[in-house]
Structure 1
């Protein structure tokens, strides 16, 4: 071996060994050895056993990061196509189909306690207990001229309004005398602890005198409920109506103090027999051969199907006797609830059919509360101007003038329930003013 190959490594010396020994993969000699002359010896193994610097962990981390970025890019790319496609499919679905979605959550404890049990009747329909002034046979099974229950939900178009238009009064002679016991007492109330009696309340009275057949009225009085007794006399369209303000004492039931108009109202109905009224648009006479409450809305809510905004019961009606029994034996009403309203009527209806008694009638929603339905067929908002974008006119759009589609519908139904929105004013020139309020003034002027 030539010396020139080792001139650049003067400090290293290789031991004399055969190539077989130097290249043996089984050699266990250390890679460095020291001689007495402090000379370093390097034991080089064959190229088959040379170990390169370890970079495995770094390569693995780099590979994981690359895969992570690749997944993110794939997800972003996928979303670029999926989101627009989903949006287009959703819009296409709305174009081709009508979605009907309603969610309601009820406490299982409440439904098991208040809804599921069917209460037994207390015996108010027993002939021995029925007041002689109430004809039980006629009240339950007597013939009727009109049918006020449609048997369907009446949600489509103006079906409900058209059904109301099929109910007509029997022909009558306007000047014929009406016996006192055949006259109907109309009853409403006003709570002066909510707001003072003002112009908005006067329109309710005007609607009453402008739409009802006056010779059939038993009394022209409005019973007003409030915490303090007052006396008042007002002029109503050229007629003086005595406003009788009554108040209900606080009562205790199960240790809970109530100041509820429900107790007082039902008491008036039992003692006198009368009709509960909202803002009226038509004579109620063809309905009064029945005893009834009203459907809550067109959706037929399973636990709140009935409403008492427009209701009618005869004097000493056993229906109200059973209602009072439920009020006396059931839990006290929750504050701000309809427990002595909608829930009470539901319990009573179920108890009647379970006891084999024909139940009271249920008027379709639009007869007095046509606002309680879908956007496309309910009445426009009475407190929003007609030209306001927030007032969705639905099928009434472009047909809200006199003798138009809306005017014809109002002449078929019997009232408009305003849901105690007494703080709101009717907009000037709105459909309520044009089609209702002005007609009230014109009719009262002609009386």
Structure 2
């Protein structure tokens, strides 16, 4: 009995070994199958990737060919602007200011001399029957009446305006004033500002008027006035400006701004804005001063970041504010770096009437900048420049004109020859 049990016990390990071997064989087969399946999946994915890459390259090539053909046939104009929604409420208030109902009255315009000259808005200087605002038809039309979407249209339209006033234009017999403003407490006078003054001295008509004034003196047809704030009287002795002031003292003068005097008999008289208007960038005071100066003197306001290329006297039949560029901005169509108004114009009257209850503020969001219109130098650029009246440099005071650049070659060297 003992031996049978021993034999049975000796058989059991053999059976266990056989079972383990079979399990190992099955596990190896499963692992091999899994690896084969994984390899097949990777192979399929690789094939799909290669297929999509080939198709992607083909689609990209087709799109590129279509774009080249489309661009050779079609001219595309795209201009994108971004506007701060909060700032739009200032540009387009829900309740826009009403007109004063007095600036364009018949008493103000048709019979100005019947009004009390010391009361606003009576304006004996703004007379429709005399001077440049005659009721006679205008010779020139400065606005085509529709937008100019093509980038060549503006240049072609500017070239239709003659270089000088024509004999049949009815222009003012008084001198044309060109007002500029600079604060040396913010930045000293540099070559950039001197070049702006030279561009005016070289391009405007400074001949003597044909009709003498009440003193029998034949005045110059143009006068340039550089205005500055009271804290910058040192401009008189500025090493760059003083030679021009001395040499061209009959046509270029330096004057100090007196807001209290300029605002007398206007809605802005004794306004609190007059004492707080001088900001750190001369934006607020510059906006107010241009309105007051044109109200008292008439003529042109020109920002100091302009280069004047042509005689502006040909544009004095109309009152106008320059726009940003040829594209119509949906919210800010006007720029105002060059403005022309007659003395005591009702348009200026309306501006001051609006400022009193709602003083303007600085728009810190730079949403309007015509620097988006940039042209590479080519043979057509010179043709385009021939019709332009000015080049607006959009501040950028720290940038100087390259001595061998086109601005020097086409303009500054020529102005220096005339001035010097």
Cα distance, 1:149 vs structure 2: 0.8
Q: Distance in 2 between matches of 1:80 and 1:306?
A: 52
1:235 to 243, 267, 277: 243
Q: How far 1:95 sits from its partner (Å)? A: 4.6
Contact 2:203/2:308 (<8 A) preserved: yes
Stretches of structure 2 lacking an aligned partner (at least 5 in a row): 1-5, 13-24, 108-120, 209-219, 261-270
Is 1:442 equivalent to 2:417 in the alignment?
A: yes
SS at match of 1:185: strand
- Three-state SS of the structure 2 residue aligned to 1:329 is coil
- Is 1:108–2:85 an aligned residue pair? yes
Pairing 1:166-181 to 2, within 5 Å after superposition: 166-168=160-162, 169-171=164-166, 179=173
Q: State the distance in 1 between where 2:89 and 2:257 align.
A: 38
Q: Which residue of 2 aligns with 1:244?
A: 255
Cα 1:72–1:111 change in 2 (3 A) is: farther
* Count of residue correspondences: 346
Unaligned 5+ residue runs, structure 1? 1-9, 13-36, 41-51, 343-368, 379-391, 397-404
Deviation at 1:425, TM superposition (A): 1.9
Q: Equivalent residue for 2:377?
A: 393
CA contact (8 A) 1:293 1:308 kept: yes
Structure 1 equivalent of residue 200 of structure 2: 208
Q: Using the TM superposition, name which of 53-62 and 280-289 deviates more.
A: 53-62
2:177 and 2:223 in contact (8 A); partners too: yes
Cα pair 1:232 1:242 within 8 Å, conserved: no
What's the counterpart of residue 162 of structure 1? Answer: 156
2:356 to 315, 322, 328: 328
Q: Secondary structure at the match of 2:200?
A: helix
1:337-393 Cα deviation digits (max 9, x unpaired): 689xx8xxxxxxxxxxxxxxxxxxxxxxxxxx9x75644xx4xxxxxxxxxxxxx31
Query: Secondary structure of 1:187's match?
Result: strand
Check conservation: 2:123, 2:344, Cα contact below 8 A: yes
Structure 2 CA distance, aligned partners of 1:435 and 1:204? 15
Q: Is the 8 A contact 2:184 2:235 kept in 1?
A: no
1:29-50 superposed Cα distances (whole Å, 9 cap, x missing partner) = xxxxxxxx9999xxxxxxxxxx
Contact 1:232 1:244 in 2 (8 A): no
Determine the C-alpha separation between the residues in 2 that align with 1:39 and 1:442.
123
Q: Secondary structure at the match of 1:424?
A: coil
Asked if 1 retains the 8 angstrom alpha-carbon contact of 2:294 and 2:342, the reply is yes
Report the counterpart of residue 137 of structure 2 in structure 1. 143
Whichever of the two has the greater Rg, that structure is 1
Equivalent-residue separation in structure 2 for 1:271 and 1:222 (angstroms)? 15
Q: Deviation at 1:200?
A: 2.4
- CA distance in 1: counterparts of 2:386 and 2:325, whole angstroms: 20
**Alpha-carbon spacing, 1:293–1:82, altered in 2? closer, same or farther (3 Å):** same
* Distance change (3 Å), C-alpha of 1:336 and 1:114: closer
The answer for the alignment partner of 2:333 in structure 1 is: 305
TM-score, length of structure 1 as denominator length: 0.63
Separation in structure 2 between the aligned mates of residue 131 and residue 257 of structure 1, nearest angstrom: 26
Identify the match of residue 125 of structure 1 among 79, 101, 104.
104
- CA change 1:76–1:39 in 2 (3 A) is closer
> SS of the counterpart of 1:232?
helix
2:391 maps to 1:430: no
Higher relative contact order (CA 8 A, sep 6+): 2
Distance 1:95 1:227 in 2: 62
TM-superposed CA distance for 1:315, in Å, is 1.0
In structure 1, how many angstroms separate the alpha carbons of the residues matched to 2:356 and 2:365? 17
Confirm or deny: 8 A CA contact 1:223 1:246 kept in the other structure.
Answer: yes
The secondary structure found in structure 2 opposite 1:188 is: strand
User: What do the CA deviations read for 1:179-237 (whole angstroms, capped 9, x no partner)?
Assistant: 4xx32111111231342113322221121121111135353432134754335152239
Give the TM-score of the pair, scaled to structure 2: 0.67
2:154 touches 2:326 (CA, 8 Å); kept in 1? no
Shift of residue 134 of structure 1?
Answer: 1.4
- State whether residues 298 and 373 of structure 1, in contact with CA within 8 Å, keep that contact through their aligned partners in structure 2: no
Equivalent-residue separation in structure 2 for 1:67 and 1:322 (angstroms): 79
User: C-alpha deviations, 1:279-328, integer Å up to 9, x for none?
Assistant: 21111111011111112023322122211111101111111222223333
Measure how far apart 1:158 and its partner are.
Answer: 3.9
Q: CA shift at 1:133, angstroms? A: 2.0
Across the aligned residues of Structure 1 and Structure 2, the Cα RMSD in angstroms comes to: 4.2
Distance change >3 Å, CA 332–CA 65, structure 1 → 2? farther
